[in-house]
Amino acid sequence: MATLEHRLPIGLIGCGGMAKVLARAANRLPRARVVRVCDVSAEAAQAFAQELGVPHTTDPGEVLADPAILAVIVATPNFTHADLVVRAAAAGKHIFCEKPLALTTADADRMVAATRAAGVHLVVGQVLRYLPVFHHIKRLIDEGTIGTPFAMRTSRLGGWGSVPPWRNRRETSGGPLFEVNAHELDYMRFILGEPETVYATGTRRVVDTVDHEDTAFVTLTFQGGGHAVLHTSIGAALGGYSGVIQGTEGTLNWTCWPDSLEWKRLDGAGGKLAGKEALPAPDAHEREIAHLVDAVLDGTPPGITGADGRAVVAMAEAAVCSMQTGQPVRLG
Ligand SMILES: NC(=O)c1ccc[n+]([C@@H]2O[C@H](COP(=O)([O-])OP(=O)(O)OC[C@H]3O[C@@H](n4cnc5c(N)ncnc54)[C@H](O)[C@@H]3O)[C@@H](O)[C@H]2O)c1
C-alpha cells in the first residue's frame, strides 16, 4: 500500500459534477491524492473541500502557484479549458483535462504546444473508450472477431432538460458535437484511425433553450478507407444509444444503458454479451486518471494524449463548419 508521500499530489480545478467524479476516482487510486480544490464559486469549492478534508480556493492561480502540487485536473466548462491548461503548463503542472480539450483547433494547438514546451504530460478525458461496452468492443476487434473494421454507425439520442447556462451556448460549450459527441467522435477515430473528410447537417427543432443545433448527422471518411455516420440529438423524447460496426469478417451490434453486444461472423460463428456481469471492466474514471499518475510517477506514455484530444476538436470543428457551409471539410 502506497503511503501519502508516494501519492501524486493533485490540485482540482472546478468542483462541479464531473470534477467530483474525477477527484473521487483519483482518491481511490493507491498512488494519487487530491490535496487542494478550487472553484470560482466559493460555495462549490468549500462544500467539496469539506468532503475531501482539504483546503480550497476560488483562484486557480493559487493552485498553480502551489509548489506541493505536481498535477492538476481541469474539469471546468469547455470554454475555460484552453487558458487554464496553458497556465497550468506554464506553471510546470502535469495536466488531466476534461473533454472536449478545446473549442477550436487553434486553442488545442496552443495547449499541446504549451505542454510540450513545459515538458509536462497532458491527458484528455476521452473516457468512453473505457466504459464497459466500448472496452469490450475494442477487445473483440483486437482479437480479430469481425476482421478489419471499416464501417460504423452510432446513434446517441436523448433529452436536454435543465443544464448550467454555459451548456446552452455554442460559444461556451461548442454545441453537442463538442460537449456530447466528443466521445463518439473519439471512439470512431479509436476504431477506424485518422479521419479524412467530414460532412454534417443539423437543425434546431425541439430544444429552444440552446443557440445551436439540437439534432445532427455527421458523415466521416477515414484515411484507412473507413466510413462512419453519427446521428445525435439532445431533443429526442425516446432516448437510445446504440451502434453497428462492420468488419471484413463480421458485424457487431451494441447498445448502452442497458449494455449489450452481439456479433456474427460471415462464417456463421457469433456471440452475445449482455448485462453488467457479462461485460466486466475496470473503473473507467480510475483508468483515465491512472494515465496521468503513471505518466508522472513512472514515465509511462499516457493512453490518451493531448494529440488525441486535439484530433477530436478538429473533427467537431469540421462538423460544425460543414453544417454551416453545406460543404464537406477535408481534415489536414
Ligand atoms: N467525461 C464525461 O463523460 C463528462 C461528463 C460531464 C461533463 N464532462 C466535462 O467536464 C467539464 C465540467 O462539466 P460539469 O458537468 O462538471 O460542469 P458544471 O457546470 O457542473 O461544473 C463546472 C464547475 O466549474 C466551475 N468553474 C467555472 N469556471 C471556472 C474556472 N475558471 N476556474 C475554476 N472553476 C470554474 C463552476 O463554478 C462549476 O462549479 C466539461 O468540460 C464537460 O464537458 C465530461
Distance (Å) from CA 25 to ligand 1 centroid: 16
Closest by alpha carbon to 302, among 310, 293, 311, 291?
291
In a shared domain, residues 225 and 215:
yes
88 and 210 part of one domain: no
Q: Is 286 in the pocket of ligand 1 (CB under 6 A)?
A: no
**Cα of 292 from ligand 1 centre, angstroms:** 19
CA of 246 to the centre of ligand 1 (A): 35
**16: Cβ below 6 Å to ligand 1?**
yes
Straight-line distance from the first to the last Cα atom of the chain, in angstroms, rounded to the nearest whole number: 47
Pocket of ligand 1 contains residue 60 by CB under 6 Å = yes
Residues 97 and 138 in one domain: no
pLDDT tens-digit series, residues 296-326: 999 999 999 999 999 999 999 999 999 999 9
User: What average pLDDT does range 144-164 have in this prediction?
Assistant: 97
- Site to substitute for ligand 1 among 21, 76, 168, most atoms within 8 A of C-beta: 76
Domain extent at residue 19: 4-127+284-304
- Share the mean pLDDT of the chain: 97
Nearest residue by C-alpha to atom 8 in ligand 1: 18
Does 317 lie in the same domain as 229?
A: yes
**How many A from CA of 187 to the centre of ligand 1?**
22
Q: Does 17 sit in the ligand 1 pocket, CB within 6 Å?
A: yes
Same domain? 320 vs 173: yes
| pLDDT of 332 | 82
State how far the alpha carbon of 170 is from the alpha carbons of 81, 133, 166, 177, 242, in Å. Answer: 15, 30, 8, 10, 26
pLDDT above 90 coverage of the chain, percent: 98
Which numbered atom of ligand 1 lies nearest the CA of 45? 39
DSSP 306: H
Angle between helices 105-118 and 81-90 (to 10 degrees): 10
pLDDT at 2 over 80: no
44 lines ligand 1 (CB under 6 A): yes
Q: What is the CATH number of the domain that holds 172?
A: 3.30.360.10
- Give yes or no: residues 94 and 167 share one domain: no
Q: Which atom of ligand 1 is nearest to the CA of 81?
A: 41
Pair (17, 156) in one structural domain? no
Does the C-beta of 15 come closer than 6 Å to ligand 1? yes
What are the tens digits of pLDDT across the range 116-135?
A: 999 999 999 999 999 999 99
**Ligand 1 touching residue 22 (CB < 6 A):** no
Q: The whole model's pTM is what? A: 0.97
Residues 62 and 184 grouped into a single domain: no
Percentage of the chain beyond pLDDT 70 is 98
* Helix, strand or coil, per DSSP, at residue 148: coil
Q: What is the CATH number of the domain that holds 117?
A: 3.40.50.720
* CA 169 to centroid of ligand 1, rounded, Å: 14
Residue 240 is placed in which grid cell? Answer: 437510445
Mean local confidence (pLDDT), 100-120: 98
Distance of CA 53 to the CA centre of its chain: 28
CA of 223 to the centre of ligand 1 (A): 33
Are 266 and 289 contained in the same domain?
Answer: no
| Ligand 1 site, residue 174, Cβ cutoff 6 A | no
Question: Does the structure show a pLDDT above 70 at 168?
Answer: yes
Same-domain pairing of 44 and 109: yes
Same domain, 27 and 176: no
What pLDDT is stored for residue 6 in this prediction? 83
Residue 188 has pLDDT above 80, yes or no: yes
> Measured from the CA of 178, which atom of ligand 1 is nearest?
43
Name the residue with the closest Cα to ligand 1, atom 23.
16
For residue 5, what pLDDT is reported?
Answer: 60
Residue 181 shares a structural domain with residue 160: yes
Q: What is the pLDDT of residue 3?
A: 54
**pLDDT over 70 at 39, yes or no:** yes
Read off the pLDDT of residues 259-291 as tens digits, 9 standing for 90 and up.
999 999 999 999 999 999 999 999 999 999 999
pLDDT digits (tens, 9 = 90+) for 202-250: 999 999 999 999 999 999 999 999 999 999 999 999 999 999 999 999 9
Sign of CA dihedral 289, 293, 295, 298: negative
Say how many domains are in the chain. Answer: 2
Looking at residue 328, its pLDDT comes to 98
Dump strand ranges (E) for the chain. Answer: 8-13, 32-38, 56-57, 71-74, 94-98, 122-125, 149-157, 195-203, 215-222, 227-233, 240-247, 250-255, 260-265, 270-274, 329-330
- Cα of 74 vs centre of ligand 1, distance in Å, is 8
